Structure 1
Amino acid sequence: MVPVEVLGVRQQQNDQEIVVLLLDTSAELAVPIVIGAREASAIAMAQAGVATPRPMTHDLLRDLLTAVGVELDQVEIVALDGGIFFAELVLSNGTRLDSRASDAIALAVRTGSPVLCSAEVVAAAGVEIVDLAQQREVEKFRDFLDHVNPEDFTNPEPGDDVEDGGSPDTPP
């Protein structure tokens, strides 16, 4: 089992699926888990520290554990089978409970409990993380390409030294 960080909830632009992203920092891999809108809301609200006037299901479960004197030691994402992630809640009394991954993550965020993921699951479902600085540069370049005109290349700006046929960045 490897510790993972719950990065947050994102909506995929291509197919509108909602995923929760788990980050394995040691391998620089993210594990996207497709979840429902209600579970996404529960995770996002807990991460943002939003309190509801009445307890949501995950709040109730957290409060029930506290009332009976049991803590959630950790959440483990234990398997991936047919595109479905399987999780277990590991309680302080030694009990392990089968759980949907999204519910387990929502509870872990509320209790501050660690989330661990099977190395096999990370290897099978993990996607490589692009460096954030590198990602910003790619986004800037895409924005440039979206707004560039052919005239931007044929009419040099004042001060650009392109008389020798080189580019403005070419040393004289």
Structure 2
Amino acid sequence: MHKMVVHGLTLDPLTNMPIVILKDKESQRALPIWIGVFEANAILLELEKIDTPRPMTHDLLKNVIEGFKGKVKRVVVSDLKDSTYYANIEITVNNSNVKIDSRPSDAIALALRTNSPIYVTEKVIASSKIIDKADDDEKIKEWLEDLKPEDFGKYRGG
């Protein structure tokens, strides 16, 4: 498994759909995952440390987990099937480990709120379109500009 961090959010230049960019700090590879507008907003609120007057959905989930004395151990982008990414949220509660199926965008939004690590399996890395040596934003921009419309159907997932 590869430990990754959220490098940022960007917009697909053709569809204007948000893309979350996960980056492996060791290898400098980046994994783009197309997500929904609401999920992008949830991630952006946390990245920018913007407080909301009332808890948003991911804040509520964090509060429920903590209310039951649980801890988010990690989130894992675990699979890519039929052009859709899958993730798991791994929680420890009362010395038990619980794995919960999730969309990657929701898992990432929760990981950011709980300061939990984000991992991507080797299987996902091998079957995804990875940006190698994404050491700067220009490399990511070039990659996005070179995308063709037929590439989009391959990477739904949010």
TM superposition score normalised by structure 2:
0.80
Structure 2 residue 78 is matched with structure 1 residue 78: yes
The equivalent residue for 1:30 is 30
**How many residue pairs align between the two structures?**
137
The equivalent residue for 2:132 is 128
Listed as ranges, the matches of 1:34-113 within 5 Å are 34-92=34-92, 93-113=96-116
Q: Which amino acid aligns with 2:102?
A: S
RMSD of aligned C-alpha atoms?
2.0
Pairwise CA distance, 1:130: 4.2
Rounded Cα–Cα distance in structure 1 between residues aligned with 2:100 and 2:22: 20
The equivalent residue for 2:118 is 115
Per-residue displacement from partner, 1:60-119 (whole Å, max 9, x unpaired)?
Answer: 000011111000000001001122110001011301000011100000001000000001
Q: Which has the higher contact order (CA 8 A, sep 6+)?
A: 2
Rounded Cα–Cα distance in structure 2 between residues aligned with 1:69 and 1:130: 38
Contact 1:8 1:43 in 2 (8 A): no
Contact 1:29 1:122 in 2 (8 A): no
Rounded Cα–Cα distance in structure 1 between residues aligned with 2:63 and 2:38: 19
Identity of aligned residues (%): 34
Rounded Cα–Cα distance in structure 2 between residues aligned with 1:130 and 1:2: 15
The equivalent residue for 2:149 is none
Name the SS for the 2:97 alignment partner: coil
User: What are the ranges of 5 or more consecutive residues in structure 2 without an aligned counterpart?
Assistant: 143-158
Rounded Cα–Cα distance in structure 2 between residues aligned with 1:129 and 1:5: 15
Rounded Cα–Cα distance in structure 1 between residues aligned with 2:134 and 2:31: 13
Structure 2 residue 5 is matched with structure 1 residue 2: no
User: What are the ranges of 5 or more consecutive residues in structure 1 without an aligned counterpart?
Assistant: 140-172
Rounded Cα–Cα distance in structure 2 between residues aligned with 1:121 and 1:45: 27
